[in-house]
Chains A and B, each alone.
Chain A
Amino acid sequence: MRRRLALALFAVAALGVVVVGASARRDRAPQGPAQPIEFWHSVHAGENKIPCMYCHYSADRSVDAGIPPVQLCVGCHVPGSNAPTANPATAQLAFPTAQRDSMWHAEAQKLVDYWRRGEAIPWVRVHNLPDHAHFPHYVHVQVGLKCQTCHGPVEQMQRVYQVAPLRMGWCIECHRGELPLSPEEERLVQARSSFIQKMRAIAAAGGDVRGVWAAHPKQRASTDCTVCHY
């Protein structure tokens, strides 16, 4: 009996270790996953204050945020390249000749190699949703949310790591108004959310919105299943 109990406890402990270990997401490790090129957002979005949508160019108009094409990187980083955005002055900035042996030089050389081979850089995906959830970036960008609200302080990250759980419950919490937003974002969301506008219009016309607003008086967006799952 005692042996059985010990065995059971051991099994539970082993299972627990395994489960906890397995659920420690790689992506949430402070460093983030290693990428083909050691690209630091802290240098580009942080120190050089390049706007998010300079590279992630379709975030405000498409369901996908967009990954910068190789040509975009080349525009600054490859001196003498044919890229239309090649600019000797900025290329100089990104390619300090005084430190030809530095790690940055090696990484930028990797970029040059990809460009010369005509090959796409196979970035490791950090933020991913399952195929059955359709997330339209542009709706969220246009309603006034900042990229950092969901993606965290990317401009301070060296390697990108996932900050938000990206689980459906987390999305629902924000849709229901239970996740706090910055005052500026809250102001924009209140002004622009189609859901809030519709609710206000119905209430103004004397319609019945209690079914929706009684449960979640601060609801910002629809929580209807078919808005995301179809």
Chain B
Amino acid sequence: MKRRDFFKVLGASGAVVGCTTNRVERLIPYVVPSEEIVPGLPTWYATTCRECPAGCGLLVETHEGRATKIEGNPQHPISRGNVCARGQAAVQGLYHPDRYRGPQIVEPGVEAREVSWAVAEAQLVQRLREARAQGRAIVLLTAPRTGLLDRLFDEWARAVGAERIVYEPMPAGPRGLDLASAELIISFGADFLETYGSPVDYAFQFARMHAVAEGRRGTFLWIGPHRPLTGLNADAWLAPRPGTEAVLTAALAGEVAPAQAAAQTGLPVEEIARWAREVATRRTVVLGPGAALAGPYAPALRRAVDALRARVGGVAVDSYGGGPEVAELAERMRRGEVGVVLVDGDLDPLYNLPAALGFAEGWGRVPTRVSFATFPTDTAEAATLRLPAPHFLETWDEVEPVPGVVGLVQPVMRPLYNTKHTGDVLLSVAAQLGATLASAGGAVTFYDALRRAWSTRLGGEDGWREAVRVGGVYPRVASLSAEEMSAAGLDSGVSAPPAPATAGAGAAVPALAARRNPRPADPATLPAPEGADFHLVVYPSYRFYDGRSANRPWLLELPDPVTKVIWDSWAELHPTTARRLGIDQGDTIEIATAFGRVQTYAYIWPGVRPDVVALQMGLGHRAFGRWTAGLGVNPNALLAPVADDTGHFGAYGLRARVRKVGEKERLIPGLPPRSIFEQGVRVQYNRELAQAISLAELRQAEAHGPAAVPGARERVTNIRGNGGFTPVTEPTDPAAYPPRGTKIGEYVEEAPRWAMVVDLDKCIGCGACVVACYAENNIPVVGPIQMRKGREMAWLRIERYFHPGDQPDAALADGATDDVRFLPVMCQHCGNAPCEPVCPVYAAYHTPDGLNGQAYTRCVGTRYCANNCPWKVRVFNWFTYDFPAPLHLQLNPDVTVREKGVMEKCTFCVQRIREGQRRAHQEGRPVRDGEIVPACAQTCPTEAIVFGNIADPASAVARAARSPRAYRTFETLNTQPAVVYLRKVTLREPIRGGHHAGAHAEE
């Protein structure tokens, strides 16, 4: 053999040796173990959510000291065990890679310098002293707070000689209202299913009053120039001419004749008369004006709405925004009168305030600008001193969203970084200045002060420990059965705990509530640019609120519930307007007011009045982390620097000009996209996926059986025989799944058959379930470019359809928003799955308990299964996706993290099913109905999803599946889906797709 050949062989053999691994894995024990943690099992802590002012009670799942999943606390009267999408995404705030890691001093022209807390506080103390010596103002700008931190802010300001200004970027809305017992809800632009008031609580209550399954069938009327998600769930929409809402309201109150209101508002007189009758005869709750209607038109509207509310027996509770004080502050800052400004971590005035206010210029003139923000917000990035507060999941606090419900915020894990509670900073700085804060009660740290106050209120340490265990003091609700409660480690007693003495603890709505701005913006005197024939609407975002949660990748990837746009901003225009101006969907348009202009992409749909342009809040940050910086546009650039009567800066009442500035550009690989991407389609193409039934038809079906449902008979005869599954043509028990005569394979009879029922009458289309699924199942975020290629990884998506027929233009017609269908689609776990026979390696197969199993380890990535799936719910890992540290700490250890080349899909949270089965067997009992709850069902605020063993006739899912509204999607394909949908119930006869298209006239 030649020497060269020898070396070649040796080299090849060496390469083979390199293919083995000598990697050593270590087992790291505790040094001193935690008494609460059993390794491998999750430990749950009760705390309170701080993503918005609603204050939902949470139970947070942690694994070995890492928070992994957020769920609602079933005993909490606000959340009732449910959490919205923003609450689910809070863990991404905790683990955001761009959080501040410690205090920083920023000097002009120099990189931020990390310093110790001692140094940072010393600098603050020194600057405060200097400001006092120079006679310059010290201003403390905070969000509305309750509880100990609120009192500390006040006392600190007094002690230090500072002035406290409370600022609320958008009206939060009243919490604690009773919607469930209403027969009619009228909302004036108040998106109570998304951000207004207490959305998780209100969504639940809305389902109670509105859903047929709950027995009641209240009505919901939406009034406003724009129809957001909440409006799409309304039974009717009145869109009076902008600025004439007050006279409409007066007509509803019976103070003005409907004909007069009709003339001014442009609405049909019979509509106004009809609703005036409804108000007069039914128990009515009036909500609003919401944040979308804040602005110059608000004062007149609010007077009318308050009057209407008084007539129907409600109380006006609109909070004060602090806008005029902030405007004045901006002026003083510009004049150089302010020496030190400190900004609460929950605020981002450089983002939220109208650019025309000049706050940013004034901010730049203040020599010492202090931010307590946890994240690099626009404000914090322009600060000179950053004193980052910890995230709410790693710290202590209290919040009282409504009187009688006091939520305790407790850390569920050690703080990740060198952060310090704002209360601690205040106490420390006060001490260094020689002042004591009385609310601290002599304690040195915020935690000690909190604990002392609670122990005193609750009569000792035992009371404190109990409060920590359950997450506060609140009247408990029994949203689970007694058995379920004890299985979850909660006690089932609903005895009222000792009421905390809340005097002075901060009212639910701050004492500023009664304040009003004496000089609100007057729409008549506001300037407008030439040719401004649009009214501007800026409305809050379900995903981003007022912008504060825009840095969470899950929320950026979640398509907007209404427009289904991902990872970008847009501006909404009516189709006739768009035609008139020659604007197509996705074209770049410029919206200009007298105060600013933005360029964004056009979204054309009939959910706005033709004379309105609507922008959603939330994007357009300059900073705020890697995914959000520079993304989208900030509509606050358009606002006038004058607040409305409640001190909020709003857009409604401003005139805007809209013109096209660019064509929608095609996607060029490698370049940033030059248009928006709308996921999904707007019509159902006759596929009858999301079905509806009118109330009258439903009563017929209840009286005469399910065959009385329109189309039921035809559907049954349309089902084709398929792969050994012969169709069953007589009406059978829908819960008998799979129907007799269709058994194939090794299915063992008395094994559980896992199934799910989704009630479309309760689903509001919010997408909280989608984010919960991401959190539970380690689903990667793929980003805008991959999503445009159709490579989204969501296991569950919410389809949104405007029309059941096959004409896409039908989605642009004026009535298209009256019967919007939301359809949560996930793997249907078909009994006769098309994806199973085509897998060459048996990775897709059917388990004995009815699941469509996916063995990741077997999958070789042919993708034939996804090809065959009619629902297209299978997603493929085109890459090994990254979970940038420390987001990887959020990963659920009970679910495999998938690699490139592997197919995945909804598993009905099989990890929870297996865990539930093992636990039940361990305890020597069968699995209880309702014990196993997939993540989507667990979080849904309206509780639209029911899961369980459909083979058990007494189970909730079997009982729900027997409803006359029950149907399965793509039923005619005879794939035997395990997901049963309940038709949405409409007041009027719904438009039908399929072969019913055109057969029934729309009323």
Contact = CB atoms under 8 A, between A and B. Distances in A.
A211 B751 CA distance: 13
Contacts of B524: none
B907 interface: yes
A18 B10 CA distance: 10
A69 interface: yes
A226 B851 contact: yes
A100 interface: no
Given A10-B1, A69-B31, A70-B32, A226 B922 contact: no
A156 interface: no
A89 interface: no
A106 interface: no
Contact of B853 (A71, A115, A224): A224
Interface in A4-47: 6-7, 10-11, 14-15, 17-19, 21-23, 26, 33
Given A18-B16, A58-B40, A226-B907, A120 B30 contact: yes
Contacts of B907: 226, 230
Interface in B16-41: 16-17, 19-20, 22, 24-33, 38-41
B748 A19 contact: no
Contacts of B921: 139, 194
Contacts of B17: 18, 21-22
B368 to A, nearest CB: 40
A103 interface: no
A11 B910 contact: no
B19 to A, nearest CB: 8
A147 to B, nearest CB: 16
Contact of B748 (A14, A124, A134, A202): A202
Contacts of B1: 3, 6-7, 10
A123 interface: yes
A131 B39 contact: no
A128 B748 contact: no
Interface in A91-130: 114-115, 118-125, 128
A7 B40 CA distance: 53
B856 A229 contact: yes
Given A7-B5, A19-B16, A132-B857, A121 B29 contact: yes
Contact of A212 (B27, B746, B847): B746
A120 B33 CA distance: 11
B918 interface: yes
B778 to A, nearest CB: 11
Contacts of B10: 14
Contact of A14 (B13, B848, B857): B13
Contacts of A199: 748
Contacts of A121: 29
B775 to A, nearest CB: 16
Given A225-B853, A226-B914, A120 B31 contact: yes
Contacts of B32: 69-71
B937 to A, nearest CB: 18
A131 B898 CA distance: 10
A23 B918 CA distance: 35
B9 A128 contact: no
A15 B30 contact: no
B748 A211 contact: yes
A133 B894 CA distance: 10
B914 A124 contact: no
Contacts of A209: 748
B845 to A, nearest CB: 7
Nearest to A83: B32
Contact of A142 (B9, B847, B857, B922): B922
B38 A62 contact: yes
A201 interface: yes
Interface in A125-170: 125, 128, 131-134, 136-139, 142
Contacts of B310: none
A40 B917 CA distance: 37
B40 to A, nearest CB: 3
A73 to B, nearest CB: 9
Nearest to A211: B746
B917 to A, nearest CB: 7
Nearest to B20: A22
Interface in B334-352: none
B911 interface: yes
Contacts of A21: 17
B895 interface: yes
A67 B64 CA distance: 13
Residues of B in contact with A, size category:
35 or more
B29 A124 contact: no
Contacts of A142: 922
Given A64-B40, A121-B29, A226 B847 contact: yes
Contacts of A33: 24
Contacts of A64: 39-40
Q: Which of B12, B851, B896, B911 has the most chain A CB within a 10 Å cutoff? A: B896
Contact of A69 (B30, B746, B911): B30
A187 interface: no
Interface in B853-899: 853, 855-858, 894-897
Interface string A54-93: 0000100111101111110000000000000000000000
A66 to B, nearest CB: 5
B111 interface: no
A225 B1 CA distance: 50
Nearest to B912: A230
Given A58-B39, A125-B27, A139 B922 contact: yes
B749 interface: yes
Given A131-B897, A208-B749, A63 B853 contact: no
A207 interface: yes
Nearest to A70: B31
Contacts of B9: 7, 10-11, 14
Given A7-B1, A205-B750, A230-B911, A131 B896 contact: yes
A119 B28 CA distance: 10
Interface string B899-930: 00000000100110010011001100000000
Contacts of A68: 29
B746 A125 contact: no
Contacts of B895: 230
A227 interface: yes
A118 B750 contact: no
Q: Which of B31, B745, B895 has the most chain A CB within a 10 Å cutoff? A: B31
A123 to B, nearest CB: 4
Contacts of A10: 1, 6, 9
Nearest to A66: B39
B31 A212 contact: no
B896 A132 contact: yes
Contacts of B25: 124-125, 128
A171 B856 CA distance: 18
Given A7-B5, A10-B1, A132-B896, A69 B27 contact: no
B607 to A, nearest CB: 41
Contacts of B918: 136, 138-139
A66 B28 CA distance: 10
Nearest to B902: A132
B29 A63 contact: no
Given A11-B12, A15-B13, A211-B746, A69 B41 contact: no
A229 B750 CA distance: 23
9 contacts: A15-B13, A61-B38, A63-B40, A69-B33, A71-B30, A123-B27, A139-B918, A226-B851, A230-B896
Interface of A: 3, 6-7, 10-11, 14-15, 17-19, 21-23, 26, 33, 58, 61-64, 66-71, 114-115, 118-125, 128, 131-134, 136-139, 142, 194, 198-199, 201-202, 205, 207-209, 211-212, 222, 224-227, 229-230
The 4 closest A-B pairs by CB, nearest first: A64-B40, A62-B40, A69-B30, A63-B40
Given A22-B20, A58-B39, 13 more contacts: A21-B17, A58-B40, A67-B39, A70-B31, A124-B25, A124-B26, A125-B24, A134-B911, A205-B749, A225-B853, A226-B914, A230-B894, A230-B914
